[in-house]
Structure 1
């Protein structure tokens, strides 16, 4: 359980860091690209030794690491576009409600336990994500002509979580979690370099501010993935891990928003927090 708590904490800190990006006028995309090389380096350091290139090339998990790395940076950009064109709440709900995909995959592919308490807990988790994320009394508002963006965000986020679980079960041996995570971020950085080259052709250059911001973001970003993989490695069912992880992140982020940034919560948000706590307890108790 400690790994799950740490995954929730580090994931929540990422949102806090992104909030400070707004405060300090950081170029988010550039900082994200820098963050990937920092996360990759952190993974290699956590691995404890210089990895053998031959070992990486012949690793069973290499394809999944490259696939996930490409998805990391792609879905991040979709998230940014969704936030800009459909609104932050739509992006948050689309990304976090993707928990249904790894939950269904866990029950279907790995024959994980299912019962009325877990089902009710998962449904409450979905409701809490919506209630906690919405910042307008009118509910979610979005450009109906841009429905594709939130759908791709929903699908992509779910595929990432499902792929992490599949790779962890079938291909990543114990002790290789750090190296696997590092290669995921290395792939994302390679794609990011291509993006930086394009940005330079548009006269948008990397700045010291973006580099510093990327360094700050990189370490917790690495550990948010590492702790998630360790949670799955310790035998917790994915149909338990992902609802608690997603809902816990939304819940903790909301609390941090109030404490650090004096964000105002509407009645729906308070209801969402209560529902989130109920969902976490029901899912955890169902597992026990």
Structure 2
């Protein structure tokens, strides 16, 4: 369980760093660029990918899609944490698992049992309750769009990574290295354009934040993979512990440390989100 605990810690720390970004005037896109450079280097050192096996036959459309989506979703993640807090953003990210599950049903024609259907229904209600806001101002009500993008974005990214995993001709870690490399290049192009066109300055604080962000971002991936290796016969345990852990720890930090205000309906949404993850996990265990 040590790997799961470390993965949860790294995942929640990323959200905390994004929460603190505004306070220290961090440029998110610059930090994200350095983040992918750091993750790229760590991926090379830890996984030692064999880049020679990357050929034109590799799933390049998926690689390129991920290269664009990953830095983009980081920006929406940061905006969601900034505007709606860690609690709601973490729930949106974790409940994004519904998208690959729905893809499995409608696209890959997998059989679903009643527990999974119930879990999806509960999760849908959880999303609605979690994002309800008392403030009806137009500027405030529009902020729900950020966690929606987080929800959809992470769900699509999960589906694309699963597609890469099915590409048996290439090791998964080599594909991961390729995606990080392309994501860094996309982020770098955006930063260069901003520097040349908008005259944005490169600052040392963004480099430092980006490196720290990259360490925890990569740590989340590394420990999650190691948890699956250590508990190879119990993948549902890893799945449940990771998702439940992030929702619980993220909620506690958001409420206790950052004093994020939630309504009773929001709290009900958190409880239902936990219930949804448990139901979906049980549906995997008891799948026929």
What TM bracket, shorter-length normalisation?
0.7 to 0.9
Following superposition, the deviation at residue 146 of structure 1 comes to 10
Match for 1:278 among 266, 275, 280? Answer: 275
Question: Which residue pairs with 2:212 in the alignment?
Answer: 216
CA distance in 2, matches of 1:270, 1:249: 15
Structure 1: any 5+ residue segments left out of the alignment?
A: none
Structure 1 residues 62-100: Cα deviation after superposition (integer angstroms, max 9, x where no partner): 55333312221233345567788xx537x9477665433
The CA distance in 1 between the partners of 2:115 and 2:205, in whole Å, is: 48
Give the SS at the match of 2:199.
coil
Distance 1:159 1:142, change over 3 A: farther
Q: 2:280 matched to 1:269?
A: no
Taking the TM superposition and a 5 Å limit, the aligned residue runs for 1:15-54 are 15-47=15-47, 49=48, 51-54=49-52
Instruction: Give the structure-2-normalised TM-score.
Output: 0.76
Q: Deviations over 1:46-73 (max 9, x none)?
A: 11x3x44422346735553333122212
Deviation at 1:160, TM superposition (A): 1.1
The answer (yes or no) to whether the contact 1:177–1:230 under 8 Å persists in 2 is: no
Name the counterpart of 2:53.
55
- Over the aligned positions, Cα root-mean-square deviation in angstroms equals 3.9
Q: Number of aligned pairs?
A: 278
Aligned to 2:100: 102
2: distance between equivalents of 1:169 and 1:3?
A: 24
Q: Aligned with 1:171: secondary structure?
A: coil
Q: CA deviation at 1:284?
A: 2.2
| Alpha carbons 1:128, 1:275 under 8 Å: kept | yes
The answer to whether 1:253 aligns with 2:250 is yes
Give the drift of 1:205: 1.6
Matches within 5 A, 1:171-210: 171=168, 176-201=171-196, 202-210=198-206
User: Within 2, Cα distance between the matches of 1:112 and 1:223?
Assistant: 32
Secondary structure of the residue that 2:54 maps to in structure 1?
A: helix
Shift in CA distance, 29/179, structure 1 to aligned 2, threshold 3 Å: same
Distance 1:36 1:148, change over 3 A: same
Cα distance, 1:254 vs structure 2: 1.4
SS of residue paired to 2:22: helix
Deviations 1:210-249 (A, max 9, x none): 00000010022124345566778858889x95x9866653
Q: Is the 8 A contact 1:129 1:247 kept in 2?
A: no
Q: Return the offset for 1:19.
A: 1.0
Deviations 1:20-55 (A, max 9, x none): 2123221112111110101111111111x3x44422
Does structure 1 retain, via aligned residues, the 8 Å contact 2:84–2:143? no
**In the TM superposition, what is the alpha-carbon distance from 1:148 to its structure 2 partner?**
8.7
Please, which moves more after superposition, 210-219 or 149-158? 149-158
Q: Which moved more, 1:245-254 or 1:26-35?
A: 245-254
Residue segments in structure 2 that go unaligned for 5+ positions in a row = none
Label 1:7 to 1:107 Cα distance change in 2 as closer, same or farther (>3 A): farther
Distance 1:143 1:257 in 2: 19
Which sits farther off after the overlay, 148-157 or 72-81?
Answer: 148-157
TM-score by length of 1: 0.76
Cα distance change of structure 1 residues 147 and 130 upon mapping to structure 2, 3 Å threshold = closer
Shift of 1:267: 1.4
